């Protein structure tokens, strides 16, 4: 900084960036890295490794969920616009798992996004997708097949 | 000493699982920590995300195939976990760390940050970038990663990454200049 309190960019901006690397101002508690692995190991249940799932089957399953979610949202919007109806007093979490997707699709106009997100299979769909994303041989075509914005919207 | 590849294969086969996983954690913990810290900013949040990252890596290690680099796989998990944590923080009303005003609040309350004004302005400049540009800039500039590795982690072409980095650099320069000449 010069006398007027301004930064001097006459020199190379790259140099300025390196000189002011924010990581230089960051620190960690003493002994953090020495102890981290031991702390972590105490929190891991070492008998619980998820079995690898067939990528082909997983993709189909994930696509099913994503398609169902997308269909529900489209129906929700369309129904609100074209067929305003009174809402029944049904709680999604009270329904059996195999009834819920059907209920969501058939009653889309009466459900809020919050109610849809309460649907227990949402978590399962996200877990499956997470496994796909963390598979190391993830391919661009898989990502292209997914509507990431939609998934993120539901996840939030 | 077993190679990293052998250790991973052993874990996947159920041999020396705890010892092997600890070896991997110790091998990559610092790199992963600083990558997460560049996104989360505070040590406390970084520590939470770091634990989740390694726990998730352990639970999903059978999905990893040895034809890819383990560390890019770990980086991908760390990146996703960090972004999810940021979104959750925003959802519960914490001022966003992906926004310049959130940075000031965060760094001033973090006992493990004692950076100067220029460093805080640079953090704000990086926080003002769109998500993808922010990630690319951090990984390229501060993690010193190759475009090829970033490409594997973010699943984006090298050409697109170079464009993102160029735009990010220009925006940061403009942001810093505007702050310093106010």
- Residue A3 banded pLDDT, cuts 50, 70, 90: very low
Contact B62 A27 (CB under 8 A): no
Query: How many domains does chain A fold into?
Result: 1
Does A19 reside within a domain? no
Domain B115-182: state its class.
mainly alpha
Say if residues A26 and B36 touch (Cβ distance below 8 Å): no
Does A41 reside within a domain? no
Does A39 reside within a domain? no
> Rounded to whole angstroms, how far apart are CA atoms B166 and B144?
15
Name the one residue in this structure whose structure tokens are 């919207």: A153
Q: Within chain A, how many helices (H) and strands (E) appear?
A: 8, 0
- For B113, the 3-state DSSP assignment is strand
> Rounded to whole angstroms, how far apart are CA atoms B22 and A35?
11
Cβ-based contacts of A126 with chain B (< 8 Å)? none
With 80 as the cut, is the pLDDT of residue A61 above it? no
- Per domain, the residue ranges of chain B are 1-97, 115-182
Taking only residues 63 to 102 of chain A, the set having a beta carbon closer than 8 angstroms to any beta carbon of chain B reads none
Contact A22 B26 (CB under 8 A): no
Chain B nearest-CA residue for A16: B118
Residue A145: count other Cβ atoms within 10 Å of its Cβ: 12
Query: The domain containing residue A142 runs over which residues?
Result: 55-155
Least confident piece of the model among A24-28, B86-90, B152-156, B167-171: B86-90
Q: What is the pLDDT of residues B62-117, one digit of tens each?
A: 999 877 889 999 999 999 999 999 888 776 555 555 566 677 777 778 889 988 88
What pLDDT score does B127 carry?
87
Q: Any bridge partners for residue A26, and if so which? A: B113
pTM: predicted TM-score of the whole model, two decimal places: 0.65
**Partner A contacted by B34 (CB < 8 A):** yes
Does A111 reside within a domain? yes
Say what the ipTM of the complex is. Answer: 0.83
Identify the CATH number of the domain defined by range B1-97. 1.10.1740.10
């Amino acid at each position: 900084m010069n006398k007027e309190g301004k930064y001097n960019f006459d020199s190379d901006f790259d140099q300025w960036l390196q000189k002011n690397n924010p990581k230089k101002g960051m620190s960690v508690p003493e002994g953090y890295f020495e102890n981290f692995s031991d702390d972590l190991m105490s929190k891991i249940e070492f008998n619980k490794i998820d079995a690898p799932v067939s990528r082909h089957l997983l993709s189909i399953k994930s696509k099913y969920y994503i398609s169902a979610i997308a269909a529900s949202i489209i129906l929700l919007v369309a129904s609100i616009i074209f067929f305003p109806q009174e809402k029944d007093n049904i709680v999604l979490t009270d329904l059996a798992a195999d009834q819920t997707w059907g209920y969501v699709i058939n009653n889309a106009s009466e459900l809020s996004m919050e109610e849809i997100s309460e649907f227990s299979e949402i978590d399962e769909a996200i877990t499956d997708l997470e496994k796909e994303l963390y598979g190391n041989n993830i391919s661009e075509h898989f990502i292209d097949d997914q509507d990431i914005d939609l998934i993120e919207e539901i996840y939030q | 000493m077993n190679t990293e590849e052998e250790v991973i294969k052993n874990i996947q086969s159920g041999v020396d699982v705890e010892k092997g996983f600890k070896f991997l954690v110790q091998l990559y913990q610092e790199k992963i920590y600083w990558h997460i810290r560049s996104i989360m900013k505070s040590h406390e949040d970084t520590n939470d995300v770091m634990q989740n990252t390694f726990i998730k890596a352990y639970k999903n290690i059978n999905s990893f195939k040895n034809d890819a680099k383990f560390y890019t796989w770990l980086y991908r998990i760390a990146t996703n976990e960090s972004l999810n944590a940021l979104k959750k923080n925003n959802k519960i009303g914490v001022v966003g760390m992906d926004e310049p005003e959130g940075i000031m609040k965060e760094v001033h309350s973090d006992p493990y940050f004692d950076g100067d004004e220029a460093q805080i302005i640079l953090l704000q400049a990086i926080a003002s970038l769109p998500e993808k540009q922010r990630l690319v800039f951090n990984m390229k500039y501060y993690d010193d990663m190759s475009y090829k590795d970033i490409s594997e982690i973010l699943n984006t072409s090298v050409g697109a990454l170079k464009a993102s980095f160029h735009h990010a650099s220009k925006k940061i320069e403009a942001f810093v200049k505007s702050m310093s000449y106010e």
